């Protein structure tokens, strides 16, 4: 999907389809390919947008979840979107939550999947060692229920990131920021329809995290995907899309 990137000033993004806006927010090691099935499915009835967040280009002192949320606000302002559906995986979900606290009037709904913001066992409890590809492969496999999804391409991407000093420093800064910035006391104020789609076998943001999100968000529906880890939209894309489509249709009548 790299060849579909649109570049406008400081922004790089993919945009496909017409209709209500769904903004896809990727995670810490996220890539455009993570959402390929989502964008292909929903662009039939929605304007689906993936802004590339500046994970590796922010000044280190500002490399945190709040700064990413501010960047997303600048992007939404730049595009002139009114109300948006925010769909975030892992760190992307956390960015959506922070954005919601600052700009609730711009949010139509939140869709969270494996979101940080309450608790996250980042990379299975320890950070990958530089130069040790087999170790990194095992840590990438922790993301999924079925390790076959830890493809050579995905492992190579993570390997390249952790062996680049500038990117590694920023990854560590963002991971620490996510852990420090607990959203538990803010969730009760986020009174918009919220869809939680969670892997039953997620070991990074375990099932009890999803349950706490449902308990504390005023309008939350929780859906489980069995034999699924931290990235449901990658591991079970058809089921993920089916759940989300049905929820959007029921919540907003988007089927009409």
pLDDT string in tens for the chain (256-residue length): 566 889 999 999 999 999 999 999 998 776 667 899 999 999 999 999 999 999 888 888 888 999 999 999 999 999 999 999 999 999 999 999 999 999 999 999 999 999 999 987 754 444 555 567 888 888 888 899 999 998 888 888 888 888 888 888 888 888 888 888 899 999 999 999 999 999 999 999 999 999 999 999 999 999 999 999 999 999 999 999 999 999 999 999 865 4
CA of 37: how far to CAs of 124, 181, 232, 252, in Å? Answer: 26, 30, 11, 22
pLDDT score at 11 = 95
Q: What is the pLDDT of residue 224?
A: 98
Which candidate, 169, 183, 242, places its Cα nearest to that of 217? 183
Are 72 and 99 spatial neighbours (Cβ–Cβ below 8 Å)? yes
Q: Which two tokens stand for residue 225?
A: 């995907």
Phi-psi region of 129 (alpha: psi -120 to 50; beta: other; left: phi over 0): beta
13, 52 contact by CB (below 8 A): yes
How high is the pLDDT of residue 33? 74
> Do the Cβ atoms of 97 and 186 come closer than 8 Å?
yes
pLDDT of residue 130: 56
């Amino acid at each position: 999907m790299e060849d579909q990137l649109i570049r406008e000033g400081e922004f790089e993004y993919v945009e496909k389809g017409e209709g209500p806006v769904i903004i896809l927010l990727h995670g810490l090691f996220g890539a455009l390919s993570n959402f390929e099935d989502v964008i292909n499915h929903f662009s039939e009835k929605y304007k689906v947008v993936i802004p590339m967040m500046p994970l590796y280009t922010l000044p280190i002192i500002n490399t945190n979840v709040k700064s990413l949320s501010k960047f997303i606000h600048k992007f939404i302002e730049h595009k002139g979107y009114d109300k948006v559906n925010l769909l975030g995986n892992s760190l992307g979900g956390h960015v959506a939550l922070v954005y919601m606290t600052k700009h609730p009037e711009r949010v139509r709904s939140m869709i969270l999947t494996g979101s940080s913001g309450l608790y996250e066992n980042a990379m299975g409890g320890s950070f990958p060692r530089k130069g040790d590809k087999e170790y990194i492969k095992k840590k990438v496999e922790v993301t999924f229920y079925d390790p076959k999804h830890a493809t050579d391409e995905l492992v190579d991407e993570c390997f390249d990131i952790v062996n680049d000093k500038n990117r590694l420093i920023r990854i560590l800064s963002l991971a620490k920021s996510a852990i420090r910035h607990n959203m538990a006391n803010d969730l009760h104020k986020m009174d918009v329809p919220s869809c939680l789609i969670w892997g039953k076998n997620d070991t990074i943001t375990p099932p009890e995290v999803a349950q706490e999100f449902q308990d504390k968000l005023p309008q939350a529906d929780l859906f489980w995907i069995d034999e699924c880890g931290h990235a449901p939209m990658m591991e079970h894309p058809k089921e993920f899309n089916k759940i989300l489509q049905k929820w959007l249709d029921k919540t907003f009548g988007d089927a009409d």
